[in-house]
Structure 1
Amino acid sequence: MDGLAWLMLIVLALLWGLSFPFAHIALRGLPVLTLVALRVLLATVTLWAVVALMRLQVPDSRAAWASLLGMGVLNNVIPFSLIVWGQTEIAAGLAAVLIGTTPLFTAFVAGALLPDERITVPRLTGILFGMAGVVVIVGPGVLGDLGHSLWAQCAVLGAALSYSFSSVFARRLRRFSMHPVVLSAGQTLASSAILVPAALIVDRPFGLPMPGADVWLAVLAFAVLGTAVAYILYFAIIARAGATNTMLVTVLNPVFALISGALLLGEAVTLRQVGGLALIALGLSVVDGRLWRPLGAAVARQAEGTRG
């Protein structure tokens, strides 16, 4: 991770953190499916413009487009819809903190499905720390209101689980050797093909009152900055610093979301949320292992010295 990679990572975390309050503002004037459809549609237009400007090769096989469709469902259609629906009931900052569990779900799903990603004791320990963080954030108070905020929080956790399956499914796309921007554009196009008709049928948006300028600005920022530009940055960081380093964005993302939610929406940041986020960050550090290797090496050296 050089200086430029860290800068890109921080910008990406800022864009994804701001996406949660942007969605909250947009929901004031738009229903869930319409907002999600606009997000992927505007992102698709932006990304395909980049593909055209860069003159990138577009996949021409049915197998490639079938895989892009599967990626679009797991990485866009399901999680985007669940997150936005969840935000109709819970605060933007809380939704971002819950999405921070994605790498923990990924470690579990990959360990169960991929032979080279088996769950080890450190990885299981990290997953348990992260799940403890989720329990702290959700808190016992919601158990008295099972039909309200608990289901919204479960929806956001379901989005995190869908993201984890998409990261495993992404391995299918390696054989097509697509440019990251083409991959992003392809999956958002496939998502648009599903979400736009669904929004037209379910929400019938043309019969709704015209939203205000603040809603349209939030939608534009949500789609272009929080989706199209964010995807380009995300894959650029993977190419520069690797997927493991890029996973650090999931720790920074909720921090920016909590701060922006407090500043833009007046949301309260509770001690329970901060404590739960700390447990999730601890779990991620254990799953990743790099922060703990110097300590393990020091303990090993001390043990050797004692034996000597």
Structure 2
Amino acid sequence: MTARGWLLFSLMGVIWGIPYLMIKVAVDEVSPSMVVFARCAVGALLLLPLAIRQGGLWLTIRTHWRPMLAFACIEIMGPWFTLTDAERHLSSSTAGLLIAGVPIVGVVAARYFGDTEHLGTRRIAGLLIGLAGVGVLTVPHLTGGDARSLGEVLLTVIGYATAPLIAARRLKDVPTLQLIAPCLTLATIVYAPAAAATWPASMPSSGALLSLLALGVLCTAVAFVAFLELIKEIGPTRSTVITYVNPAVAVAAGALFLDERFTATIGVSFALILAGSVLATMASAPKGSADPDPVPVRPARQWLRRGADPRPERDEAGAR
């Protein structure tokens, strides 16, 4: 990857490694609908004025409203609620382990979207090594959960794996702000009635309020701008590998700021996650000859029957 790709990848690995803790703090005092509404509203308030200032926002919405609606539903409105609701019963480590399945699901989903990105043995091995690292990191800390919560996280995984494919194939020409700002605005409107109906009877604690604010500013507004740029830079399949780094970041934050123990098991998991991420994000080596676009060989008799010049066909631009 380019230096810019690695910078965005590292940034997303950190930013989306901390929402699990913030969601856990907030959902203890407010409803899941309120959590989703708050983070979407804060993100929309920050990004919508910037998107309008760019100009052409309404034309963009009219032209691309169908894939934008699909992206909003699959990436934001559905997964954010199911993940938040699941964390009322699941530990953050359990959620992190399950969310780490996003790259694997993304590889499978990409086949149905006509993905032409080659996945060699090295990248597939990287995906599996990274998943093993997350397993080493989180399995010792797993706690229980019911079938509904596990199903909700599974739906979140499917959404997180599919939405980047939609963005890369149907929305790649849409400016980042003009994609995410309308999606967050729509999610805010959709969740406003449920948030109003479950409004807390008393003012939440400062910890819950700060968690909601950080979810909106850092984990939504800043994160989505960086994530969509990451998709454009390295592609949708490799961009989902950040879900391997996120649980490791959560453990590192605990060790640094909460005096949690950094054990040998955590060290091994870090090594596996880092190695898996590097391998899974590497570009695959070209197969066969150095010519990436070979001319198909046609029998001489076929050229003669057609009365054609037996030379490679060219389009209007003169390219093969």
Which residue identity is paired with 2:104? Answer: L
- On the 8 A contact 2:93/2:142 being kept in 1, the answer is no
Does the alignment pair 1:21 with 2:18? no
Q: Residues 241-260 of structure 1: matches in 2 within 5 Å?
A: 243=236, 246-260=239-253
Which residue identity is paired with 1:64? Answer: H
Deviation at 1:108, TM superposition (A): 0.8
CA distance in 2, matches of 1:193, 1:274: 44
- On the 8 A contact 1:37/1:199 being kept in 2, the answer is yes
Does the alignment pair 1:186 with 2:182? yes
- On the 8 A contact 2:136/2:269 being kept in 1, the answer is yes
Distance 1:126 1:256, change over 3 A: closer
- On the 8 A contact 1:34/1:199 being kept in 2, the answer is yes
- Give the percent of matched residue pairs that are identical in Structure 1 and Structure 2: 23
Residue 157 of structure 1, aligned match among 154, 159, 176? 154
Deviation at 1:128, TM superposition (A): 6.2
Which residue identity is paired with 1:99? Answer: I
Aligned residues: 288
CA distance in 1, matches of 2:257, 2:32: 20
CA distance in 1, matches of 2:223, 2:212: 15
Greater mean alpha carbon deviation, residues 40-49 or residues 238-247: 238-247
- On the 8 A contact 2:26/2:212 being kept in 1, the answer is yes
CA distance in 1, matches of 2:22, 2:141: 27
Unaligned runs of 5+ in 2: 288-320
Q: Residues 68-83 of structure 1: matches in 2 within 5 Å?
A: 68-83=68-83
Distance 1:170 1:101, change over 3 A: same
TM-score by structure 2 length?
Answer: 0.71
Which residue identity is paired with 1:253? Answer: N
Greater mean alpha carbon deviation, residues 133-142 or residues 42-51: 133-142
Tell me which of the two structures has the higher relative contact order, counting C-alpha pairs closer than 8 angstroms and 6 or more residues apart. Answer: 1
Which residue identity is paired with 2:76? Answer: N
Deviation at 1:168, TM superposition (A): 2.7
- On the 8 A contact 1:47/1:228 being kept in 2, the answer is yes
- On the 8 A contact 1:125/1:286 being kept in 2, the answer is yes
CA distance in 1, matches of 2:152, 2:137: 15
Residue number in structure 2 paired with 1:196: 192
CA distance in 1, matches of 2:124, 2:187: 33
- On the 8 A contact 2:94/2:142 being kept in 1, the answer is no
Residue 231 of structure 1, aligned match among 203, 224, 229? 224
Structure number with greater Rg is: 2
- On the 8 A contact 2:24/2:92 being kept in 1, the answer is yes
TM-score by structure 1 length?
Answer: 0.74
Unaligned runs of 5+ in 1: 297-308
Deviation at 1:70, TM superposition (A): 1.4
